[in-house]
């Protein structure tokens, strides 16, 4: 209520109801100011870190989570070892159990001889391989005319039944492991998770979590690359290749979630060690893009910039797949030349004289399957299919007492057509093609 004083002034008289209204208004204004301060804190930007470590925007904890990817990489890595153990045992139960990751007490084979934080696969995650292979059932592998799961499970059963080298010379353990690197780790990292980014939210936390969907999908893609958190600063390409784990926090144990390099992270390092190849730095290029892109996501920067970093990863990683495929093409060709030079046209599969040949052939063909699994690739599918066609579906051996077929196969692998596909599709030089 307003009244006039005798001197013409104004006196404001507040009843109880008016005072309560005024108090509420004051509280609203104060709270609004506090909320504004909180918003400013949330919007605070970060610099690109040296390691793959990011604090949540929503609390003071790490927002990085990819345990499922870690365990899948370990299972893929360890299946090859187990196939050697169970070869010819007539019992595929352990191999199939590892595919399903259904044994809570199964020890991590990669932990053998090491002091590790996690000793069992379930210490990391109950995630498994079978469902990831179901996701790519529509991709048919040329030559074998089946999907990756059918091919892999069939080879696991075959290895347990008759041994790890097929009568035709195919090294089943190499084929299984390398096919899985492509059909699971590479496909999940590229097609699935990086393919989702343009349509995912980056403003609110996933229910019950401290990260956004975009943050999480980026991290899961990184997890499949298989790099330790300090991949850039704690290692060289030589140590990534030969000793892929460092106790970075000096606690006396290797943490598979943070301190272990596996799969594609190791493969990229091996290809960087080609001194006669082009000036590529696959490891740093990929890791730097993962760091920069994740920083941009955390800072909620425009999508276009984030996708630029995504594309750097996709193109470079595909070059790694192509480079390792070319590497084993060269190894197989060299093995054939050595067998022919030895002059024994009676050599047969699974012999001492052909062991390297069969081992390298399985790696060549298995790694080449990876080129099928990045749907973001700009390389024509016809080029990939032609690579696989030129490789064939099994090693070639002497026949009719001569090396004619074997020499023809060698010339096909090292021929102009194969070289031109790799040069035109992946930007390789003549030196790359010859020396990977």
Residues 8 and 116 in one domain: no
Rounded CA gap, 386 and 307, in Å? 30
- 3-state DSSP assignment of residue 238: helix
Structure tokens, 72: 């899948």
Looking at residue 242, its pLDDT comes to: 82
Residue 414 belongs to a domain: yes
Range of the domain at 251: 67-435
Looking at residue 156, its pLDDT comes to: 98
Residue 337 belongs to a domain: yes
Residue 55 belongs to a domain: no
Total count of domains within the chain: 2
Structure tokens, 146: 């089946």
Rounded CA gap, 189 and 375, in Å? 11
- Is residue 2 within 8 A of residue 10, CB to CB? The reply is yes
Rounded CA gap, 90 and 84, in Å? 13
Residue 90 belongs to a domain: yes
The single residue listed with the structure tokens 């059932």 is: 137
Residue 59 belongs to a domain: no
Q: Which run of H or of E encompasses 183?
A: none
- Which DSSP category does 353 fall into? G
Residues 32 and 140 in one domain: no
Determine what percent of the chain is predicted with pLDDT higher than 90: 88
Residue 165 belongs to a domain: yes
- What string of pLDDT tens digits covers the 436 residues of the chain? 434 343 344 344 444 444 343 344 343 333 444 443 333 334 679 999 999 999 999 999 999 999 999 999 999 999 999 999 999 999 999 999 999 999 999 999 999 999 999 999 999 999 999 999 999 999 999 999 999 999 999 999 999 999 999 999 999 999 999 999 999 999 999 999 999 999 999 999 999 999 999 999 999 999 999 999 999 999 999 999 887 789 999 999 999 999 999 999 999 999 999 999 998 999 999 999 999 999 999 999 999 999 999 999 999 999 999 999 999 999 999 999 999 999 999 999 999 999 999 999 999 999 999 999 999 999 999 999 999 999 999 999 999 999 999 999 999 999 999 999 999 999 999 999 999 9
pLDDT in tens, 81-119: 999 999 999 999 999 999 999 999 999 999 999 999 999
Looking at residue 43, its pLDDT comes to: 60
Looking only at the bridges linking them, the beta strands covering 10-12 and 2-4 are antiparallel
Looking at residue 353, its pLDDT comes to: 96
pLDDT in tens, 292-306: 999 999 999 999 999
Residue 87 belongs to a domain: yes
């Amino acid at each position: 209520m307003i009244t006039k004083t005798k001197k013409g002034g104004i006196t404001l008289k507040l009843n109880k109801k008016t005072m309560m209204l005024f108090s509420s208004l004051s509280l609203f204004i104060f709270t609004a100011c506090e909320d504004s301060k909180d918003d400013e804190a949330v919007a605070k930007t970060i610099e690109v870190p040296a390691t793959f470590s990011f604090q949540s925007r929503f609390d003071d904890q790490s927002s990085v989570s990819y345990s499922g990817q870690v365990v899948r990489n370990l299972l893929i890595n360890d299946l090859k070892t187990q196939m050697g153990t169970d070869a010819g045992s007539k019992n595929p139960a352990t191999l199939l159990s590892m595919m399903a990751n259904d044994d809570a007490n199964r020890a991590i084979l990669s932990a053998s001889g090491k002091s590790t934080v996690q000793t069992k696969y379930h210490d990391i995650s109950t995630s498994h391989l079978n469902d990831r292979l179901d996701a790519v059932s529509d991709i048919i592998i040329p030559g074998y005319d089946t999907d990756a799961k059918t091919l892999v499970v069939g080879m696991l059963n075959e290895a347990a039944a008759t041994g790890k080298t097929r009568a035709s010379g195919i090294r089943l353990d190499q084929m299984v492991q390398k096919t899985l690197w492509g059909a699971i780790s590479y496909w999940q990292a590229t097609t699935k998770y990086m393919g989702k980014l343009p349509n995912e939210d980056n403003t609110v936390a996933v229910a019950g979590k401290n990260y956004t969907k975009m943050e999480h999908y980026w991290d899961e893609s990184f997890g499949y690359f298989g790099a330790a958190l300090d991949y850039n600063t704690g290692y060289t390409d030589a140590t990534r290749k030969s000793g892929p784990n460092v106790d970075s926090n000096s606690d006396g144990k290797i943490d598979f979630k943070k301190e272990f390099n596996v799969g594609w992270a190791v493969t990229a390092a091996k290809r960087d060690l080609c001194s006669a190849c082009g000036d590529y730095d696959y490891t740093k290029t990929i890791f730097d893009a993962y760091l920069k892109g994740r920083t941009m996501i955390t800072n909620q920067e425009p999508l276009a910039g984030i996708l630029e970093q995504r594309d750097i990863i996709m193109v470079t990683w595909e070059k790694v797949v192509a480079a390792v495929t070319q590497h084993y093409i060269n190894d197989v060709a060299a093995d054939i030349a050595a067998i022919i030079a030895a002059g024994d046209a009676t050599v047969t599969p699974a012999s001492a004289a052909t062991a390297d040949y069969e081992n390298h052939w399985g790696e060549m063909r298995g790694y080449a399957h990876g080129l099928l699994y990045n749907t973001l690739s700009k390389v024509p599918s016809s080029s990939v299919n032609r690579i696989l066609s030129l490789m064939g579906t099994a090693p070639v051996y002497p026949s009719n007492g001569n090396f004619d077929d074997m020499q023809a196969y060698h010339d096909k692998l090292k021929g102009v057509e194969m070289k031109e596909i790799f040069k035109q599709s992946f930007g390789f030089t003549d030196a790359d093609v010859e020396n990977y």
